[in-house]
Chain A
Amino acid sequence: MEYAEKNTAITGIGQSKVSRGPQTKSPLSLTIDAALQAIEDAGLKRSDIDGMACWPGDRGDDGGMGPVGVPMLQDALRVHVNWYSNCSETAGQFGAIFNAIGAIAAGYCKHVLIYRTMYQATARKAGLTNASFQPGQKAKGNFAWYSPYHAYTAAVQQSLYFARYVHESGIKPEQVAMISVNQRRNASLNPAAVYRTPITLDDYFNSPIISTPLRIYDCDVPIDGATAIILSRLDCAKDGPNPVLRLEAVGSSMRYRNSWTQLDAEALATQAQPHVAEMMWSRTDLKPKDVDVAELYDGFSFHTINWLENFGFCKRNEAGDFIGDGSRIALEGELPINTNGGALSAGRMHAYGQVHEACVQLWGRGEARQVPGDPRVAGLSTAGGPLAGAFLMVRD
């Protein structure tokens, strides 16, 4: 079996200014900044782009979660594509990448521009954003089951999963805290991060509880910004200026109940990650010990903690001991994670910050935060609840 992802590579990356505002640019303008950078980084011209994809597409609301759809960006850039797609009902934010792999394999396109844009820092100044529903509105869809219970945001809803994980694993609060502390240290070395002042364990424990056991430092930071990548067919990638970063294996499955309320008993504490990782490992000869740097989704700190276990870096319910005092997951440790500060400190780029950073590290562009030892294999993951996606990327 020849898996199609092995015939694709990321060839260029771009990122707009990521900020908490106030804003001088529109969401579209930020997206153009990222897209043009990525195209140039890949050594391409606009006319070389023949595919486009994003997650989740134009949401048509004021929340800043999906402000720029594919048609808007395509028209702005006047690119001619053979294939384009947005997708929100998929394996988390990486669904856009996974779909693009299929499009390349189908022969539709050679260079796909993939992007993620957020405008939540500006949007939230006008009201409660990222809310599942608002008082006075009739709730629809999956989250309607939460609507009468004052579960307005993901922070409250996701704390139900976090609480169950804490109950089953016995992880200590000071072990949870090291995710936030370590990532803020990484962010202090990243000029593009939004929060760069190091924090201590005391700072963590003095921070407000949002919804037990979740503290504010466990939450990622809403931002305005855009990230773009170019996914290219492998033979075309070899013509570019950057070392080829080949996709080695993807996990996109959904083998649990696809529900924010009825996750299977196991998945209540693990989220939908274990089967996704299992699929990914079934498509490669690599093992968890081969991963040099891990960029793991951190919409909330416990997402990263779940992924440490479910990716296979440690056993079930042992992430607390694996994290320990934080030295193992630090830049100099055996498994550096979220090396740019992650969404907790560099801003909520919804896993595309992780993709961008994995490329930075494998291309040796990390400067003050560069992982030592010439990393060649990156492990990436995204999302929580019933959403999950993962992939491995290698510099051959």
Chain B
Amino acid sequence: MTQTPSTGLPRPTPQLDIDTEPFWTGGKDGKLLIHRCQDCGYRVHPPTTFCPTCDGRNVIPEAVSGRGTVVSCTVNHKQWLPGLPVPYVLAFVAIEEQDDVRLVTNITHCPAEDVHIGQKVEVYFEQAADIWAPLFKPVGA
């Protein structure tokens, strides 16, 4: 069965700002950077400089393990654009360190139909224009 694509059609990319740039470019150094409150330890995502649990303002990017769990996933079969390889998997992954940090991603390196809720996955990065997109694959794949 077809593997989900890690290459093919160029990925659209987000407009970066001061808060979001670390998340999207940490992969250059192999790091998944998530903002974290330096006072209470809560991770704030999407990234910004306010901690909603302790009102702290010292919230800065910090590397996490890159491991996570699939909390939902869908196998897309429709070719929305010419050249888009299908099928591929879109997923929400909760990072291992904090369940309420949910990353949108593609799951690759396994048959699309094998991806499932509860699956343990790990991050890798793929450069697209000026970002390094965090992607996930099954642990050990």
Residues of A within 8 A of B (CB): 128, 131, 133-140, 144-153, 155-157, 159-164, 167, 208-214, 259, 261-262, 264-265, 268
Contact = CB atoms under 8 A, between A and B. Distances in A.
B102 interface: yes
A210 B90 CA distance: 12
Contact of A150 (B13, B45, B76): B76
A167 B117 CA distance: 8
Contacts of A128: 80-81
Nearest to A140: B15
A214 B99 CA distance: 26
A147 B78 contact: no
B81 A139 contact: no
B100 A210 contact: no
Given A157-B90, A208-B77, A264-B100, A148 B72 contact: no
Contacts of B92: 160, 261, 268
Contacts of B9: 135, 150
Given A153-B80, A160-B92, A265-B99, A137 B12 contact: yes
A265 B100 contact: yes
A88 B11 CA distance: 28
Contact of A144 (B15, B84, B88): B15
Interface of B: 9-15, 20, 45-46, 71-78, 80-81, 84, 88, 90-92, 99-106, 117, 128, 131, 133
Nearest to B23: A145
Contacts, number: 120
Given A145-B46, A265-B99, A212 B75 contact: yes
A135 B12 contact: yes
A211 B84 CA distance: 14
Contacts of B131: 148
Q: Is the interface of A mostly helix, strand, loop or mixed?
A: mixed
Contact of B102 (A152, A214, A261): A261
Contacts of B73: 160, 163
Q: Which 6 A-B residue pairs are closest in the complex by CB-CB distance?
A: A144-B14, A159-B74, A164-B72, A148-B133, A148-B11, A211-B76
A259 B92 CA distance: 13
Contacts of A214: 74
6 contacts: A145-B104, A147-B13, A148-B12, A155-B78, A160-B74, A259-B46
B52 to A, nearest CB: 10
A133 B12 contact: yes
Contacts of A164: 71-72, 117
A348 to B, nearest CB: 17
Contacts of A209: 77
A152 B46 CA distance: 20
A155 B76 CA distance: 9
B75 A211 contact: yes
Nearest to B20: A144
Contacts of B81: 128, 135, 152
Given A138-B15, A268-B71, A211 B90 contact: yes
Contact of A148 (B14, B15, B45): B14
Contact of B128 (A148, A161, A259, A261): A148
Nearest to B8: A150
A230 to B, nearest CB: 39
A146 B104 CA distance: 6
Nearest to B132: A148
Nearest to B15: A138
B140 to A, nearest CB: 22
A139 B11 contact: no
Given A148-B133, A211-B76, A262-B45, A139 B15 contact: yes
A155 B79 CA distance: 12
Contacts of B72: 160-161, 163-164, 167, 268
B117 A210 contact: no
Given A135-B9, A264-B100, A149 B78 contact: no
Contacts of B128: 148
